[in-house]
Structure 1
């Protein structure tokens, strides 16, 4: 019998018994999309859980980014990070916006606020930072820069579901924040996403834009797109919301287990919890210093893989290294020294709510030589 793979993540799923009850109700209602009952209920429940005033559900996590840029009428250049999933930068490209990459802070892997101002030009209209691995950006410094230069701030908060700083949701920072509810995330609706905004008027505009621009049966107010979430996934999301706190607690125990086991391993570093932050433990990245550890990141990655332990080199390569973007002036490696080092040394270890002690021991056996 083949040895069981230990995957880098595992989806949080509701019980089939509970889900079937909701499915039977959806079948009775015969309203399976277009802002149905469960869609409305999930928006209300998420506002309450996340501590945000307004939220709009989407069919995935990329379309909220694209729509936020449309809603705020962003053009020209946007300052962003090369250390993220490609959707962050793709959303700019799809809107005809030039991404301008700025290096990251190695302490958090987030956009370095100290390097933003030097990248601002007369064509800059916004900043798009990412709360990488769920670590909160320095939102205060970023907002000060944005206010000084009259820029909008859109946060890609795909990793930051439920994250709070001093009791306040990180999702309330900036002009808008986006979430991903992909199956790999802490909280998922199989595929899905959301956009967080501060006022009812903006939510109304977003809801028009995600429904082809319709503001009524015969009125189209803007060239919108179809990015609505259906009733089946909304119901799935309502059930997952009931168990996400327990899942996050399980993830916390995994993070604590890793930290204790790896704290004295030379050449391996990782993030600790940040004071005042309620973390969601979305990922557990380690960074491999080949000289001190005695093995390169890739050698360790493939060793783990050979033993059916699947880590992920997340984020490698940098977005700035992909063919679409590497010709940009801001993509030059000498401008992104920290980002390149982190990208070339990172492995995200398996992290999810369902890891057993036996599996954790096996993971560590591959790392601790």
Structure 2
């Protein structure tokens, strides 16, 4: 049995390096509720990312739910069907109606033209996703938002450390939301963050994160328990010492894949993000195997690639009967979802691992997909979570 190669693997420092942090927590007995590690990590992370007003959360989904609540959005929110389910779930948890529109064929991000065509009197906001860490067309989205008086909240779960010409992409919109889940480029086991545009908004977010408390006896709004624990925050501080090296390793793996796969007919290499969070390819008609046949061939070799993002959120059982959400055609999103597969990429991936992944694709290019029926029974073992 060959060793399993997963689509991702969490960045983990040496265990011994974490022990002193745990000893400090045990000594202080401060486990949560804006403790010293929480405060230190919140500032250190903001500094690293080049943003000013950052609020830590226990996960990215709670952060996204809270951001929508903080902006008091109601009615309809235009978003992408090509994302992880939590993007739309956060809207539904706030009793908002997600309205799905199509994506750009090159970046797989939400199409600004499709946004404008979908605006109705009930539209209150836009929720784009920086898919795979590739920045959205933020200027076009901002122009649409200004013309129609809409809020913009970016799901930036994939966009850790991504910048554009002016700085961090997290500064765009009314808010941006990060995921620090174990599957992400940078993780705190579980975690998330909201990037606010100003100190006043951050203060409001911080209150919502802690049940809405203003002081010991005053609760002004119905908040949630979204605080990050001291253990997660301490781990984040340690992770910041290693993230630069991890990003360099991801870049080298991305380059190796591109060199090995660029001339295989029927395999399209997608745009690379700065942080190389994912390595998506498209399996086109010219390739002898279908996307799902290749997916099964990977499993046969203990390579657990993932079909990010398939099915579309709009096709999931939780959304397929929501007529208000599915009233716009999604030809490009559907096309991509039927062809995409993300290859393993993480700092611990070895040259031998990459060669094994590439060998499966090369073998498929010769039309070989033996025993894929057996492989298809193997369950997916890693989820893209927030």
TM-score band, normalised by shorter chain: over 0.9
For 1:138, the equivalent position in structure 2 comes to 137
Distance 1:265 1:331, change over 3 A: farther
Q: Is the 8 A contact 1:321 1:331 kept in 2?
A: no
- Provide, for residues 165-215 of structure 1, a one-character-per-residue CA deviation record: whole Å limited to 9, x for no partner: 115100000000000000000000001000000111111110110111001
How far off is 1:138 after superposition?
A: 0.3
Query: Which of 298, 319, 325 lines up with 2:292 in the alignment?
Result: 298
Identify the residue that residue 26 of structure 2 maps to in structure 1: 27
Separation in structure 2 between the aligned mates of residue 75 and residue 145 of structure 1, nearest angstrom: 19
Deviation readout 1:258-296 (Å, 9 max, x if unpaired): 11111111111122447xxxx10000000001x200110
Residue 181 of structure 1 contacts residue 189 of structure 1 at CA under 8 Å; is this kept in 2? yes
Q: What is the 5 A alignment of 1:235-274?
A: 235-273=234-272
Change (3 A) 1:362 1:333: farther
What is aligned with 1:281? Answer: 276
The yes-or-no answer on 1:354 pairing with 2:348 is yes
User: Does structure 2 retain, via aligned residues, the 8 Å contact 1:333–1:340?
Assistant: no
CA distance in 2, matches of 1:330, 1:266: 40
- The alignment partner of 1:282 has SS state of coil
- Structure 1: which 4+ aligned runs deviate by more than 3 Å? 328-334
Superposition pairs of residues 1-369 of structure 1, within 5 angstroms? 2-273=1-272, 279-289=274-284, 291-329=285-323, 332=326, 335-369=329-363
RMSD: 1.2
Whether the aligned pair in 2 keeps the contact of 1:14 and 1:236 (CA below 8 Å) is no
Structure 1 225/332 Cα, relative in aligned 2: closer, same or farther at 3 Å?
Answer: closer
> Structure 2, unaligned stretches of length 5 or more?
364-386
Shift of 1:329: 3.7
Can you give the 5+ residue segments of structure 1 that lack an aligned partner in the other structure? Answer: none
| In structure 1, distance between residues paired with 2:264 and 2:204 | 52
Q: Secondary structure at the match of 1:348?
A: strand
Alignment check: 8 A CA contact 1:101 1:330 kept? no
TM-score, structure 1 as length reference: 0.97
**Structure 1, residues 217-260: CA drift from partner, whole Å, max 9, x if none?**
11101000101000001000111111011001100001000111
Equivalent-residue separation in structure 1 for 2:271 and 2:147 (angstroms)? 32
- Cα contact 1:271–1:285 (8 A) shared by 2: yes
Tell me the SS of whatever aligns to 2:243: helix
Query: In structure 2, what is the Cα distance between the partners aligned to 1:125 and 1:14?
Result: 43
Q: What SS does the aligned partner of 1:368 have? A: helix
Task: Count residues with an aligned counterpart.
Answer: 363
